[in-house]
Amino acid sequence: AQKITQTQPGMFVQEKEAVTLDCTYDTSDQSYGLFWYKQPSSGEMIFLIYQGSYDEQNATEGRYSLNFQKARKSANLVISASQLGDSAMYFCAMRGGGGFKTIFGAGTRLFVKA
């Protein structure tokens, strides 16, 4: 069975600093994808970044990067130069096994302080 674990229910970061949101996963599949989504207080879900299990380089999208450590089964999200608008819930997610569904972690609520 697949599982996503996010152990930080809440995180605080000072504006303009970098922050790392932790995510570990468990799967027996060889091919899988890892995702991060952002959910602001308005409630919508926004796709941020993707990492494939066979990708040799860590994914980056603007201020977002994914620190992928396959042997440790971790896929941490790094947000550089935090902005007030980054305050939101962040979900780590995984899709694999040739299936269609994506499973989500419990989420980490990030608070950016001015």
Partner 1 sequence: EPEVTQTPSHQVTQMGQEVILRCVPISNHLYFYWYRQILGQKVEFLVSFYNNEISEKSEIFDDQFSVERPDGSNFTLKIRSTKLEDSAMYFCASHDREIYRSGYTFGSGTRLTVV
Chain residues binding partner 1 by CB under 8 A are 31, 33, 35, 37, 43-50, 52, 89, 91, 93, 95, 99-107
Give the nearer residue to partner 1 in terms of CB position, either 44 or 114. 44
CB 80 within 8 A of CB 16: no
Closest approach of Cβ 79 to partner 1, in Å? Answer: 17
Give the nearer residue to partner 1 in terms of CB position, either 73 or 109. 109
Largest Cα span, the chain: 43
Closest approach of Cβ 17 to partner 1, in Å? Answer: 25
28 Cβ contact list (under 8 Å, min separation 6)? none
In three-state secondary structure terms, 70 is coil
Closest approach of Cβ 64 to partner 1, in Å? Answer: 12
